[in-house]
Chains A and B, each alone.
Chain A
């Protein structure tokens, strides 16, 4: 459905997007992950026609976006990162505007607006001023605004930024419903857990380039150890010598200090984990809790880029 090929975008001397290529099939949900300044929003802007690439191309259903921008806009819905709402107007009035921009009016517009409000769970607040909404409700209405013209491809630029966990969950449910309805979603975020929950495929970007493009399972396989265990240890942080001793145990890939304990990368939780507990006990350290699980995408990202997802952005960098 969508093909992005070798996109390049510069702002003066600064290169925001250096070389981005990926494809999305109809009905897929693809997450574009990266820290602030990775070039996610600029990539989305070029896909939606808001910005012209300096090089490369975007094709939607085989047609270059730049060549037939207005016709393609009818098939694409954008949920901008900044709230695209008139706070002084009601939710309904906002939707009437956004629907009208796509040529909707009368009964069709009313039906679409009703459906969109229902999907995001705001039907009972349709007449209320948007300014009176919570942050999460505004985010949901922001999504509804992009759905009125029934687009096939929905671009979501960090749709959960700045909302509380409960609202984020509601937004996930909205997006999962869209996915069930067969919509194609392209979703930028720097919350790894969102991508893990929602996306079929993940494109990881850093410094304006794609550094990985795979399924969640495929990305996990990129780490030598597929599982991790976090042990909560009472008392002072573990000494480096003790960490090295744990990492050297058979079946243990690595040992990293955490707040209040240690994280172990292991191939399984049986014998290697028991050996670690024995070593810690021998050193007089009390293990108060053990959490086991698969390797998180966050760790994959760190392994790929050498830095965490939610680093502070460099000054003046685009998001």
Chain B
């Protein structure tokens, strides 16, 4: 009889869920939409054409060959959309957020920079106006400016009249400097004389433009990036992580609903009828846990089916690991719902508090933004959240292409959390009220 009763309760929960359009909308459609949005923002399926250029500005108050060269090099960079502005306009646009950063090259920048290259004196001051909400942009522009700046300044320093003048001035300063000012005076003088000789020879030989030092100093290595995804021919899919996060989040919402519905049922005649039936508290809790688990698995299945078919998310690692994680997380979610019903007093208050807890858990779990962008202490602290293990576990068996072994630790944590929730539910559930 007990199995029949449990089956009847589970079937009833599934029927109630099926008739609840709001639950279907929130549990299935919304996570797909939100995951699609986040996935697109974080790189899509690797085939997204244009990630968008960063709007920056150059304020050229120098108008020298060097400053024009730097501005032109920045404009050529594929990461940036560069516009030339006046200082006032740059300040206004960065403040308004239409430009994320602006480099201000002051008057005499080129001349001072070329001379400072040899003497390390009177270095010109370049101001970078930045939007404080875009700290990453500031670092990108600083890096690119350093690269293109060195290239243009050294090109000028080792070619033409301006280079000759800078070298002569540098030599003159070294010759007149005291040993205290330049301890390596002899060696530096030799370097500058050698550079002067090289410059003179290049000028007399009429070397082809763009050859040797006429290109300026550049970074003496090349760097290529290789995405370490599940396989070399499969690009990173930004949707994979966002679908993991959003599935976890919205299944937890279903868990809240299950708990709140149970609290509401207490206020209805149905509760009396349940309690006058020959069903024990254990059978009832088991049936409720089974029902909510099946609903969660249904959500999992539908959301990931859409993720695979529409957004090219692949379970590139262990399919068994993925399935085990899905089941384990849905069991945890069901036990969490029961715990809410056991410790909650009123449906309204419980829903509010539970929602707050869930949002905190999914944030810590890296469901919204990956956990690696957290500060180090928060990365460590977030390991206490089962959601972090769920999201990391799903990441590992989907786009990271890892085997079942990587799913074991998340499974253990999720299972332990489920046991704790169930224990609290059994302990505190008021069956006789």
Interface residues of A (CB under 8 A from B): 48-50, 52, 70-71, 73-74, 76, 78, 80-86, 88-89, 93, 96-105, 129, 142, 145-146
Contacts and interface: CB of A to CB of B under 8 A. Distances in A.
B272 A80 contact: yes
Contact of B274 (A71, A76, A101): A101
Contacts of A48: 276
Contacts of A93: 12, 15
Interface string B257-284: 0000000000011101111111110000
B122 interface: no
Contact of A82 (B15, B269, B432): B269
Interface residues of B, number: 25
A86 B5 contact: no
B9 interface: yes
Given A84-B272, A96-B11, A142-B269, 13 more contacts: A49-B275, A50-B272, A84-B270, A85-B270, A86-B15, A89-B12, A96-B12, A97-B8, A100-B4, A101-B274, A102-B1, A105-B4, A146-B273
Contacts of B5: 100-103
* Majority-rule SS of B interface residues: helix
Contacts of A71: 278
Contacts of A80: 269, 272-273
A85 to B, nearest CB: 7
Contacts, number: 88
Contacts of B16: 86, 88-89
Interface string B1-43: 1001101110110011001100000000000000000000000
Interface of B: 1, 4-5, 7-9, 11-12, 15-16, 19-20, 268-270, 272-280, 432
Nearest to B272: A80
A84 B279 CA distance: 16
Given A89-B19, A100-B11, A50 B276 contact: yes
A184 B280 CA distance: 26
B276 A104 contact: no
Contacts of B432: 52
A145 B12 contact: no
B268 A73 contact: no
Contacts of B8: 96-97, 99-101, 105
Contacts of B278: 70-71, 73-74, 101-103
23 contacts: A48-B276, A52-B432, A71-B278, A73-B277, A73-B278, A78-B272, A81-B269, A82-B268, A83-B268, A84-B273, A85-B269, A88-B16, A89-B12, A96-B8, A97-B8, A99-B8, A100-B5, A101-B8, A101-B278, A101-B279, A103-B5, A105-B4, A146-B273
